[in-house]
Amino acid sequence: MLLLSVPSRIYRLMSPLMTIFFTAILLTTNIAPAISATSEMSQQDFEAKTTNQKLDYIAWLSPQYPNRAKTLIEQLEVSHQHNSFSDTLYLKLQLVSCFNFIDSGQNEHAVEIAKQGADNTKIMRMDQAKPYFLVCEASAYDFLGKYALSTLINEEAIKLAKQYNQPQALLLGIVTRSLQENINGNFTQASESIKVAKELYPIAKQQLPFWYMVPAPYLKMIMSNLLYSSGDEETALEYAKEILNDPQTNGAIAIVTAFYLARISLSLGDLATAEQYLNQSKQISPEAENQHNQASFNAQTAYIELHLGNLDAAEMAINKSLRHFIDTFDDLKAMRAKRTLSQIYFAQHKDSEALSLMTEIIKQAENSAQYFDLIEFHQILSDYYEQQGQFELALKQQKLKFNAGQKANEQLSNSRIAQIKASREPIENLSNEINASSLMFQAQNVALLSLGIFILLASFVAFIYRKPKSNTPSESVNDPLQQVDAILSKAKQSHYPLTLLLLDTRQMRAVDIAIVQQKIQHTLREQDKILRIEDDRMAILLPFASEEGAQKVISQLTPIIQPYLSVKLNFGSASLQQLDTLESLLKRAELNKLGKLQKQQQGVK
């Protein structure tokens, strides 16, 4: 899932419980209780365990050291050939192998074994195991860039998990859905899904027979992301830091967690702490033979080094990553590595090399219909041209970006229609339908965490910020985005004006942004809202403000903000229309800002 896949690519329930069905399962299976894996085993200790316990240990080990886990999987496959496992254990072996392929970056193999496993559930008349294989397949498609297909398969997994009352599969599906929603910008829905996942976790943890569990560290990282989005940075960081103390945080998980903490620190402008976490990631030895993960780690390192200003180190790391992706014909990851390399070239003032690379990957993204990547590529070029004072070209890139966004939405339309047809019940009903006392499960402590999901989440931190009014973060995780939705809906229903102002903060020092935001907050009315969009823009929602009223607000804010800028301040603005969303308002405000800059360049007042 790590998850995901994250963005950048994060509802609704279980059928009535079938007590007789679960009683039959408990009586007809001879699965021993799962072990509580808290540390690595010696080969001798491993051999002493039951087959089921071995599988649980491999599931625990795989996201940390996928190659070691693969060796143990191969041992069990040989054992199965000599002495056939029960159908349940054989399916579980296939499932562990499926997620191990994702942990190793071999997503095509994961898709293949997921399909085989799903077919075997039908042959073996164990339909209740099918949703687990579907979630694995959906996660693999996420990493292959096939987001619409991934969404469809994951929704089918959720549907079957409800039908067969499989809390662990339902938990996997909901978490995968949450990350997909997060990557697609549907942050409120992502928050709702994770809230349900958190409520479902203790129930899924008790499931017997045990198949696969989303681990607590994974949920902590997602909760950290949502807390950060709500403006509670300190609690978000504490959630993330707790992962470092988890017994499963070794090897690849420890490295990716350090990357995640470094990227949060970067977004907060704390470069020293970001560098500290980056150095921490370098001190953890990954599996030397796992070249794919090493290439992914190099790509993450390059991104962080770039934003720390260590351009030579960034270039060296991304070139190592790029060579591996090219050699292994991983076109999608190679395209994204070239994106990072082009950003490094821009920072090094190698504009011609950067522009050449951007032209190449834009063509590749268009040909492969990778519209979400295309959105980012056009934004990079728009930022570049704006910094160069070429506002007409910047505006053109924004229009191309918005066209790519429309195609991305069209690409997802089939999957969203499928979701509607699934007739899912309201998400809040889930916890009412499932309760621990009504499920005949025994406690289990083994967890699986996909490295690929962790890497994806580390790559898609949602940097949306609003200054919190309360010191109770547990009650406000969903608050900012829900408030924005409520503000827009109320304005539409009541037909009163609302204007959004957009401020580019790239020219400000990180330490100054917080100061400016506080001063803006003191100037605005109580009903006005401030949001941080990613890490380089600030949006201000002005209910009851027409375009004329918004201009008065701009005149009040300009003398406050201008001293912190080395260039002339320019706000973008957009007035609410009946079909607007926050995204469409932001798009029009961005176009408005670029249009003003273009007129200034042409000398038009």
pLDDT in tens, 108-127: 999 999 999 999 999 999 99
The verdict on 494 and 585 lying in the same domain is yes
The verdict on 389 and 273 lying in the same domain is yes
Angle at the Cα of 591 from the Cα atoms of 587 and 597, rounded to 5 degrees: 145
Residue 276, domain CATH? 1.25.40
The verdict on 68 and 161 lying in the same domain is yes
575, two tokens: 């007035």
Looking at residue 469, the DSSP 8-state letter turns out to be S
Question: If you average pLDDT over residues 262-269, what whole number do you get?
Answer: 84
5-9, 273-277, 589-593, 598-602: segment of lowest average pLDDT = 5-9
CB 553, CB 545: distance < 8 Å: yes
Domain edge (last residue) among 427, 459, 491: 459
CA atoms within 13 A on the CB side of 422: 25
CB 120, CB 94: distance < 8 Å: yes
Whose CA is closest to 461, among 221, 200, 148, 126? 221
Dihedral of alpha carbons 268, 296, 346, 306, sign = positive
117, two tokens: 């496993």
The verdict on 522 and 559 lying in the same domain is yes
Q: Is residue 439 part of a domain?
A: yes
Q: What is the pLDDT of residues 571-582, one digit of tens each?
A: 999 999 877 888
Q: What is the pLDDT of residues 123-177, one digit of tens each?
A: 999 999 999 999 999 999 988 888 888 888 999 999 999 999 999 999 999 998 8
Q: Is residue 6 part of a domain?
A: no
Chain-centre distance for alpha carbon 475:
22
Report d(CA 429, CA 14) in Å as an integer: 9
195-199, 224-228, 269-273, 546-550: segment of lowest average pLDDT = 224-228
The verdict on 207 and 279 lying in the same domain is yes
The verdict on 117 and 155 lying in the same domain is yes
Host domain of residue 27 = 19-285+369-459
CA atoms within 13 A on the CB side of 511: 2
Report d(CA 500, CA 574) in Å as an integer: 5
The reported pLDDT for the residue numbered 211 is: 92
The reported pLDDT for the residue numbered 231 is: 59
CB 573, CB 499: distance < 8 Å: yes
Q: What is the pLDDT of residues 395-450, one digit of tens each?
A: 899 889 888 888 887 776 655 555 555 434 443 344 344 333 333 222 222 223 34
The reported pLDDT for the residue numbered 51 is: 95
The verdict on 393 and 539 lying in the same domain is no
The reported pLDDT for the residue numbered 187 is: 65
Is 60 exceeded by the pLDDT of residue 464? no
Q: Is residue 85 part of a domain?
A: yes
Residue 482, domain CATH? 3.30.70.270
Q: Is residue 445 part of a domain?
A: yes
The verdict on 188 and 275 lying in the same domain is yes
The reported pLDDT for the residue numbered 266 is: 85
Angle between helices 87-103 and 451-459 (to 10 degrees): 40
Q: Is residue 317 part of a domain?
A: no
Question: If you average pLDDT over residues 219-237, what whole number do you get?
Answer: 72
Question: Which amino acid appears at position 427 of this protein?
Answer: I
Q: What is the pLDDT of residues 24-69, one digit of tens each?
A: 222 323 333 344 455 788 888 999 999 999 999 999 899 889 999 9
pTM: 0.68
Instruction: Say how many domains are in the chain.
Output: 2
102-116, 161-175, 234-248, 329-343: segment of lowest average pLDDT = 234-248
Q: Is residue 43 part of a domain?
A: yes
Alpha helices (H) along 422-450: 430-433
CB 237, CB 223: distance < 8 Å: no
Whose CA is closest to 332, among 87, 145, 542, 131? 145
The verdict on 135 and 221 lying in the same domain is yes
Sheet bearing 571-575, strands edge to edge: 464-465, 529-533, 537-543, 498-504, 571-575
62-76, 418-432, 489-503, 543-557: segment of lowest average pLDDT = 418-432
Residue 102 dihedral angles phi and psi, to the nearest 5°: -65, -45
The verdict on 449 and 572 lying in the same domain is no
CB 315, CB 298: distance < 8 Å: no
Q: What is the dihedral of CA 54, 56, 62, 68, to 10 degrees?
A: -10
Question: Which amino acid appears at position 436 of this protein?
Answer: A
Domain edge (last residue) among 397, 430, 459: 459
Residue 67 dihedral angles phi and psi, to the nearest 5°: -70, -40
Q: Is 474 exposed, middle or buried (0-12, 13-18, 19+ CB in 10 A)?
A: exposed
Q: Is residue 274 part of a domain?
A: yes
The verdict on 28 and 90 lying in the same domain is yes
The verdict on 391 and 525 lying in the same domain is no
Cβ-based neighbour number of residue 68 at 10 Å = 17
The reported pLDDT for the residue numbered 316 is: 97
216-230, 250-264, 330-344, 389-403: segment of lowest average pLDDT = 216-230
Angle between helices 291-308 and 271-283 (to 10 degrees): 160
Pairing of strands 529-533, 537-543: antiparallel
The reported pLDDT for the residue numbered 12 is: 27
Domain edge (last residue) among 429, 459, 489: 459
Residue 462 dihedral angles phi and psi, to the nearest 5°: -85, 105
Question: Which amino acid appears at position 278 of this protein?
Answer: L
Q: Is residue 4 part of a domain?
A: no
